[in-house]
Amino acid sequence: MPACARWRCCRRPPARSTAALARRKPSRSTPLDAQARGWSLAAAAACLLPLLLQLPGTLALGLALTGIVATAASWRRPLPAALRMVLSLAVVALVVANARFAFGRDTGCALLAAMLALKPMELATLRDARSLLGFALFAPFATFLLDQGPLSLLLGLVAAVLVLAALLRLSEMESGEPEVLAPAPRLARVLRLVAIGLPLALAAFWLFPRMATPLWGVPERVIARPGLSDTMAPGGWLDLMNDDSVALRVTFDGAAPPTSEMYWRGPVLWNYDGREWTTSPWFRGLPAAAVTHGPRRYIYDLEVEPTDRRQLVALELPMAVPEGAQASIDHMLRTDRTLSATTRWQMTSAAPVAFEPDLRGTLRAAALRLPDGYNPRTMALAREWRTQAGSGNDAVIVERALAWIRAEFGYTLTTPLPGRHAVDEFLFDQKQGFCEHFSSAFVVLMRASGIPARVVTGYTGGYRNPFGGYWIVRRSDAHAWAEVWLPGRGWVRVDPTAAVAPERIYDTLADRASGGAGGLQALAPMYDMGDWLRRGWNDLVLGFDAARQQRMLRSLGGGDLGSSQLVALFALIGGAALAAMLWLVARGERERDPVLRAWHRLGARYGRLGLGRRPHETADAWTARVLALRPQSTALVALTARFAEWRYARDRGGDGRTLVHDLRAHRP
């Protein structure tokens, strides 16, 4: 061999290869690659989307455009810091001005959305991407404070999964692994992580001790959603009457009352100023009036959809005040907290036989008070009726009024705006209107003729969902009626609207569907099914609170648990869930071939006797060694032969399944 070739092999390696291998340590200032940047931006956009859907249209559109423009402008290189600062301040100022400087939950959420839209302006390094993603996770959270509907939930969860996928990409980039996964396997990997964490999450969800009272106040929405309120101005409920969304879901434990008796009693309105009926704040603190309940009792679960109000309704009349609510003297229920989330109430009601048979003087005066100088024609008519009926004949006057209304009045939702003498105009000119007009005019007429009366608002009727057999009360079922006080009987419900349009009050979705669009009838089962699913979700997830948690544990036979016992139970189940997680995480890497798996298990069983197969040993050599030490292990020899046959001459090896079975069955 020529000598010149010999030293070449022992020459030290050229210096450049070492330089190529000495990688720079990755740091948080590592620049992002295109993939990581794309994933981060997509995840942030997905987080922003559900929040934008909850914001007012123009604001949301503006923020979305701002985000797109800002991202595009800083795509190649980041904008100068001063420009970013100015832009951020400008957008924040615009958002605050758009909210008319009202600071509430909406404004806070809009600000969060604005910041998130601007954040991609500084997306250059790994650290930027991580802070963007961390920040973005607050957007679905904020969305849930505004809305808990299925769409928000779905979008929020998708966004969270995308954020995790982006984090996965960032971590891959950080570790310097050049291999890039396709989106589908990446998402699959993230979903697997989430799925493995799910048992723990669900155990925590159902067992984590809930706060019965909040630590700090619930932020109010600037714009309230329609719901029953403490006021009623005739003609003012049109929004509510046209809102077909669900207000209540009721499950009766036992028989349900007939629809004509389903009066869901809410705010009781005493004060009338000629235009508007309001509740009386004076009576709120007084203890509830005495009631003798009838024999027929209804036990039911009330699920109230969020309204941002505190008025709670109950079937007339509740026998006890549920925990977390208070009753005023007129048995009107108010909750301690705003009903901003789905809540559940367990109640028992029975129709009253005698409702406050002894009316105190102050209350009587309040129930007779009318503003001076309004509705002269009504006043005159009432006085005339009183003189004709004589004193003490209140029931006759009530009957006369109802007969008059039944004979001459009509039901309509299209009414002109009332003038100064609203009741006069309704009773003598239009003779058409809806529940607000009827109840208001009726109570004024009664008071004018000396009968204590008040307006009661709430819902009437309900629609029974055949799936799950519960009742749905919609916002459009809102209703107002009257209560008059008759000696000996106390307060008696009188519904003047029912005298005119009973079908309007006791209707159901099916009735409405058959009357209106014919196609709706065919879709009704789908609506029913959808609402049933929604209710299940409400029941298990949205409406789950401290009381419901206790109820769940009680139904599992746990009895009443203190919070320390709850924590112990949570720790126990959480620990089990953790163990399950560990098993699931590790299990994914097991041997996929069942025959090999069984073979390895067999080896492990012999390993316990100190006869495990060594890594370098062939199956035959191992068997020979085992046989030499344990002559009784002849079955192993046959098994090994079959295994080798199956593994190396599969066409002759026969059925793998029986081999697996035999391998599993074999015990040394």
Partner 1 sequence: MAERRLAGLRARLEGLARPRRPEVLPVAFDRRRIYVLPTAFGAFFGALVVVMLLGALNYNNNPALLLALLLAGAGNTSLLAAHLQLSGLRIVAVDAEPVPAGAPLLLRVHARADPQRTRRGLRVDAGDASAVLSLRDGAGEVRLALATQRRGWLQPGRLRISTTRPLGLARAWAYAWPADDLLVYPRPEAEGPPLPHGRGDNARARMQPAGDDVHHLRAYRRGDARRAIAWKPSARRDTLLVREYEQPQGADVVLDWLALAPLAYEARIARLARWVDQAEREGRRWRLQLAQQPAIGPARGAAHRHACLRALALLPPATGSEHGSLG
Q: Which of residues 93-132 bind partner 1 (CB under 8 A)?
A: 130-131
Decide: 353 and 346 in contact? Cβ < 8 Å. no
**Least Å from the CB of residue 27 to partner 1:** 11
Distance CA 337, CA 435 (A): 29
Sequence-ordered strand ranges (E) for 487-540: 490-494
Q: How far is CA 78 from the centre of its chain?
A: 40
Q: How far is CA 331 from the centre of its chain?
A: 29
Q: Look at residue 506 and give its three-state secondary structure.
A: coil
Which of 88, 100, 173 is closest to 130 using CA atoms? 173
- Report which DSSP code applies to 104: S
The interface region with partner 1, picked from 200-208, 311-319, 346-354, 494-502 by CB under 8 A, is 200-208
Structure tokens, 592: 């996929």
Sole binder of partner 1 in the list 417, 526, 586, 628 (CB under 8 A):
586
Sole binder of partner 1 in the list 198, 233, 354, 520 (CB under 8 A):
198
The interface region with partner 1, picked from 188-196, 255-263, 366-374, 483-491 by CB under 8 A, is 188-196
* Cα torsion angle, 157, 158, 161, 163, sign: negative
Q: Between the CA atoms of 107, 111, 112 and 113, what dihedral angle is there, to the nearest 10 degrees?
A: 100
**Least Å from the CB of residue 316 to partner 1:** 28
Asked if residue 144 binds partner 1 (CB under 8 A), the reply is: yes
Write out the DSSP string of 353-416: EEE-SS--HHHHHHTT---TTS-HHHHHHHHHHHHHH-TT-HHHHHHHHHHHHHHH-EE-S--P
Asked if residue 543 binds partner 1 (CB under 8 A), the reply is: yes
Residue 31: half-sphere exposure toward Cβ, Cα within 13 Å: 5
Backbone angles phi, psi at 611, to 5 degrees: -115, 25
Q: Tokens 């003798």 sit at which residue?
A: 292
Asked if residue 15 binds partner 1 (CB under 8 A), the reply is: yes
**Least Å from the CB of residue 622 to partner 1:** 19
Distance CA 599, CA 608 (A): 15
Distance CA 6, CA 631 (A): 58
Sole binder of partner 1 in the list 16, 100, 592, 616 (CB under 8 A):
592
Compare residues 15 and 407 and give the one whose CB is closer to partner 1.
15
Asked if residue 137 binds partner 1 (CB under 8 A), the reply is: yes
Sole binder of partner 1 in the list 134, 236, 371, 376 (CB under 8 A):
134
Sole binder of partner 1 in the list 189, 377, 625, 642 (CB under 8 A):
189
**Least Å from the CB of residue 63 to partner 1:** 21
**Least Å from the CB of residue 404 to partner 1:** 49
Asked if residue 234 binds partner 1 (CB under 8 A), the reply is: no
The interface region with partner 1, picked from 2-10, 261-269, 438-446, 650-658 by CB under 8 A, is 2-10
Q: Look at residue 236 and give its three-state secondary structure.
A: coil
The interface region with partner 1, picked from 194-202, 259-267, 470-478, 562-570 by CB under 8 A, is 194-202
Burial class (CB in 10 A: 0-12, 13-18, 19+), 37: buried
Backbone angles phi, psi at 638, to 5 degrees: -65, -40
Q: Look at residue 490 and give its three-state secondary structure.
A: strand
**Least Å from the CB of residue 150 to partner 1:** 10
Asked if residue 580 binds partner 1 (CB under 8 A), the reply is: no
Strand partners, 479: 458
The interface region with partner 1, picked from 32-40, 154-162, 472-480, 620-628 by CB under 8 A, is 154-162
**Least Å from the CB of residue 193 to partner 1:** 5
Asked if residue 545 binds partner 1 (CB under 8 A), the reply is: yes
Interface map 434-473 toward partner 1 (x if CB under 8 A): ----------------------------------------
Residues between 304 and 323 that touch partner 1 (CB under 8 A): none
Compare residues 103 and 428 and give the one whose CB is closer to partner 1.
103
Decide: 337 and 324 in contact? Cβ < 8 Å. yes
Sole binder of partner 1 in the list 10, 82, 184, 522 (CB under 8 A):
10
Residue 64: half-sphere exposure toward Cβ, Cα within 13 Å: 17
The interface region with partner 1, picked from 199-207, 224-232, 624-632, 659-667 by CB under 8 A, is 199-207
- Report which DSSP code applies to 469: T
Compare residues 509 and 547 and give the one whose CB is closer to partner 1.
547
Compare residues 3 and 556 and give the one whose CB is closer to partner 1.
3
Asked if residue 336 binds partner 1 (CB under 8 A), the reply is: no
Sole binder of partner 1 in the list 215, 407, 417, 628 (CB under 8 A):
215
Which of 337, 360, 346, 367 is closest to 268 using CA atoms? 367
State the number of binding residues for partner 1 (CB under 8 A): 80
Asked if residue 218 binds partner 1 (CB under 8 A), the reply is: yes
- Alpha-carbon radius of gyration of the chain: 37
Residues between 21 and 40 that touch partner 1 (CB under 8 A): 21-23, 25, 28
Distance CA 499, CA 477 (A): 17
E strand or H helix at 322: none
Compare residues 561 and 627 and give the one whose CB is closer to partner 1.
561
**Least Å from the CB of residue 250 to partner 1:** 21
My answer on whether omega of the bond before 123 falls inside 30° of 0, hence cis, is: no
Asked if residue 573 binds partner 1 (CB under 8 A), the reply is: no
Asked if residue 590 binds partner 1 (CB under 8 A), the reply is: yes
Decide: 155 and 136 in contact? Cβ < 8 Å. no
Compare residues 152 and 375 and give the one whose CB is closer to partner 1.
152
**Least Å from the CB of residue 288 to partner 1:** 27
**Least Å from the CB of residue 164 to partner 1:** 6
Asked if residue 533 binds partner 1 (CB under 8 A), the reply is: no
Decide: 482 and 443 in contact? Cβ < 8 Å. yes
Asked if residue 601 binds partner 1 (CB under 8 A), the reply is: no
Asked if residue 611 binds partner 1 (CB under 8 A), the reply is: no
E strand or H helix at 270: none
The interface region with partner 1, picked from 196-204, 226-234, 258-266, 503-511 by CB under 8 A, is 196-204
Which of 353, 352, 335 is closest to 344 using CA atoms? 335
